Structure 1
């Protein structure tokens, strides 16, 4: 079962953004991460509303199927609440949130998901991503157009294709049921963690056999060490077997922990000066759900990026080949400044180059046939010439030949 104290939740603003638009919840049977978007305050409101709508589901269910239906309906109702909120507070138009929720029912995990926050399962030393990101780049990965590694650094990696917001009263939500077992660790997180910390490092932290709170702290430190350009929210729960409800106090983190303190843009001054510039990069939405007509533009942009990437790769390959060619040519030119004394079939020859070959390519050529017969040389000189004698220069090579010739046997008349 999931015992009291076997779960943890934390949320951090990160190192770039000026406010925390994430929210998280760790209760008795329910665990949720919501990553808000929509300007300075809209994301705060959206994720807080999502948590508030779902906390009523932190209770026992008769069956996993009943919990699955309840999660789907509650998230759909949240979309209606967001629409109603914008009708009252039009300055929040365009706000939205991701939702990744996990409900424990007996020995099953019931999951509901929309957006790009993630649910992971760590089991038997292996980390598995359970949810699928509802993003533009995930569609590119699914279609085989880019690799998962390329998706991590794609400039459109935060473009959401599905989100819970004020745009549609009927969001498309993924819901499913999975069996869970003792020893499982379930991790729910916003992309402030999974977008900057590789899964290999996450798995290492989850496998360190630390308590959930200490493990969450370790994961947060990894995100901060990686720069933490976005809010970071982590909810972690350990499973000890079949799961009855336990009594305990729920943990609420992020903007949902202080919903009364949320700012709205209308209440803030828009005046800036060169002495106090607006923190646009920190306050702008971290996600964007494109209109249908914008999707084709995004796809065409990706095609252009792919073509540019291919051209850059080809150009780089040609440059590398050219550099290798220049290096080989320079090396060959250097060999042609060297000389050595060797043997032809029957005479002593001065060669230009070095006494080595590259495969079938010889790095030396005959430069001067001295006309001195090998048969006329003393036995030692003949063996030495056949093994070749290195020379510092052409003059040195000729001096070596003169010494050999002076010791040559003079044929009898």
Structure 2
């Protein structure tokens, strides 16, 4: 089966440099997303991608390709450690890597970090790799939902990366079958964090051309605000040859000369971006934390404390809101009881305290004082006015109205 591929990388709308790197070759396809302040992110992804690209060759079996790809990631990890030794200012830099090698009707995959590999087959999009992040651990353990993970304050914490942070990183590898019509997607989290899987599926399904689809996916990220770098590599499987029709080569920071200069200031976020994407205009730098039980338990305990504080905060807000409503109701009722009106009660004129309206079946007035004036003794117009009620500003005015009504009745 033959294949066609495409690779696109964009710096995004906020970053001043591209920490992503990508490679689309004859047999090998790689996405790397660098992390680390200063010049570290772009250097890490470029070094790792360039080193891994050296194994782009035909393999006798998928098992051989899997071993070669895993070995290349380990070699890249060592190379990053050596680079940090020679350039101490890069201490702490690292990179995620998702790589795929095509061997006939199989693919070998190696993965570390939170870049992703997806497979589109028969109209269904499947995430092949699992993120090595703290929030993914929480999702896997059922402590939070995927929706909560998307806004979790620890979502930028990576538990596994290549770099000087771990001399022996654990790398996920697998071998999967592939067939004609499959479309493989490798991407950095600049796509997966800001574009929904439904939109990714829609683009990959409706754009048959690999290059057009890759560019459209990047555009979707840009339309969503694109605060992070975004890199997309697509591989289409078709026909009956083992090599792709074209080899794109390196993209992103790996395609530029390696530089150890400090990172320039970030771009200012434009006003339209702030207005259109207020929740996605900033992005936290990813950082690595060791995948140790002690650290995980510490983070989980902190997450529980955060959840408890959130519940207490919401409970406090609800209680205060309820108290405020009760206070308003009490004050409003007290105000109604400062008012009076004259009306009819059992065929006689009476002074009522409160207002004529009620709240549903609950009246907001009561008889304050009954008089000896009979409604039948009043002229028709006056009687109708009393039955419709006559408002008074206070008790004194209400009694004055009653006196006038009495005089009318006597007449």
Match of residue 285 from structure 2: 286
Q: Which moved more, 1:66-75 or 1:155-164?
A: 66-75
Give the C-alpha shift of residue 97 in structure 1. Answer: 1.2
Match of residue 308 from structure 2: 307
Secondary structure at 2:309's aligned position in 1? helix
Give the C-alpha shift of residue 24 in structure 1. Answer: 0.6
CA-to-partner distance for each residue in 1:220-246, whole Å, 9 max, x for gaps?
334334443332212233444777333
Residue 262 (1) aligns with residue 279 (2): no
Match of residue 171 from structure 2: 173
How has the CA–CA distance of structure 1 residues 243 and 363 changed in structure 2, closer, same or farther, with 3 Å as cutoff? farther
Q: Which moved more, 1:130-139 or 1:394-403?
A: 394-403
Give the C-alpha shift of residue 323 in structure 1. Answer: 3.1
Q: Where does structure 2 lack aligned partners over 5 or more consecutive residues?
A: 269-282
Match of residue 40 from structure 2: 42
Secondary structure at 1:40's aligned position in 2? coil
How has the CA–CA distance of structure 1 residues 407 and 228 changed in structure 2, closer, same or farther, with 3 Å as cutoff? same
Report 1:4-403 matches (<5 A).
Answer: 4=4, 7-87=5-85, 90-122=88-120, 127-180=125-178, 184-209=182-207, 211-240=209-238, 244-258=242-256, 261-264=257-260, 279=265, 286-291=285-290, 292=292, 295=296, 297-336=298-337, 344=345, 347-358=348-359, 361-371=362-372, 389-393=388-392, 395=397
1:47/1:96 contact within 8 Å kept: yes
Q: Which moved more, 1:346-355 or 1:44-53?
A: 346-355
Give the C-alpha shift of residue 190 in structure 1. Answer: 1.4
TM superposition score normalised by structure 2 = 0.76
2-structure distance, mates of 1:341, 1:211: 83
2-structure distance, mates of 1:10, 1:365: 77
How has the CA–CA distance of structure 1 residues 64 and 40 changed in structure 2, closer, same or farther, with 3 Å as cutoff? same
Give the C-alpha shift of residue 26 in structure 1. Answer: 2.0
Give the C-alpha shift of residue 151 in structure 1. Answer: 2.6
CA-to-partner distance for each residue in 1:35-60, whole Å, 9 max, x for gaps?
12234343333322332343355445
Give the C-alpha shift of residue 406 in structure 1. Answer: 5.8
**In the comparison of the two structures, how many residue pairs are matched?**
392
1:339/1:397 contact within 8 Å kept: no
Give the C-alpha shift of residue 20 in structure 1. Answer: 2.0
Give the C-alpha shift of residue 115 in structure 1. Answer: 0.4
Instruction: Give structure 1 regions of 4+ aligned residues with deviation exceeding 6 angstroms.
Output: 374-385, 400-405
CA-to-partner distance for each residue in 1:333-385, whole Å, 9 max, x for gaps?
45446656665556554434445544563333223333456788899999998
How has the CA–CA distance of structure 1 residues 298 and 403 changed in structure 2, closer, same or farther, with 3 Å as cutoff? same
